């Protein structure tokens, strides 16, 4: 007698709970990586106490629909985080600016990230908050590209000269979009 009662109870509970999701769903901040690149500093010798302007050629990074699908439900504004990594032997400090746009003209929709790094630091993280992510999302959905330009000034705080060579003259720029992704229904 207990088995039919338990079976009837299970059927009633299952029917009553059919609209309750099995897993919770909520909105969350996601870190969506974008294509990375390595930039090569031109070979040179920078004497102690001197600063030199540095401008890298504009890079074109192709996006694909996997980035677009992640950003499909993203909020229109978020952050773009840049991680700048240099070789330990490249003992230069600097003030640089990274620009990101969907055109090589770098127009009104450009996202700009200023970064200041010290000679002793190998990895520096800088964030552009309040960035308009609609441009990145549209480019990713169309299998488009982002154009990235890094320029500024590097300085040798000393002591001694810094010799930039092929072995130490690489700066890697990694980008990630940090956005609120709407997951809840």
The reported pTM is 0.78
In the predicted model, what is the mean pLDDT of the chain? Answer: 83
pLDDT for residue 94: 93
What distance in Å separates the CA atoms of residue 140 and residue 70, rounded to the nearest whole number? 10
> Can you list the alpha helix ranges (DSSP code H) found in the chain?
2-16, 65-71, 134-141
Per-residue pLDDT reduced to its tens digit, 25-35: 567 778 888 88
pLDDT for residue 9: 46
Contact 174, 83 (CB under 8 A): yes
Position 83 confidence tier, pLDDT thresholds 50, 70, 90: very high
- Residue 10 pLDDT exceeds 50: no
pLDDT for residue 26: 66
- Residue 36 pLDDT exceeds 90: no
């Amino acid at each position: 007698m207990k088995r039919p009662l338990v079976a009837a109870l299970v059927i009633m509970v299952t029917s009553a709970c059919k609209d309750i999701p099995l897993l919770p769903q909520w909105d969350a901040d996601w870190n969506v990586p974008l294509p990375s690149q390595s930039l090569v500093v031109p070979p040179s010798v920078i004497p102690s106490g001197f600063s030199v302007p540095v401008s890298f050629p504009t890079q074109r990074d192709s996006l694909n629909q996997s980035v677009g699908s992640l950003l499909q439900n993203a909020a229109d504004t978020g952050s773009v985080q840049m991680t700048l990594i240099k070789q330990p032997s490249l003992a230069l400090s600097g003030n640089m600016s990274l620009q990101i746009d969907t055109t090589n003209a770098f127009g009104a929709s450009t996202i700009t990230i200023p970064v200041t790094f010290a000679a002793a630091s190998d990895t520096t993280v800088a964030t552009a908050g309040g960035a308009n992510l609609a441009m990145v999302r549209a480019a990713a959905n169309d299998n488009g590209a982002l154009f990235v330009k890094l320029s500024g000034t590097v300085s040798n705080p000393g002591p001694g000269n810094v010799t930039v060579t092929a072995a130490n003259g690489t700066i890697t720029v990694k980008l990630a979009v940090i956005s609120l992704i709407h997951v809840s229904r």
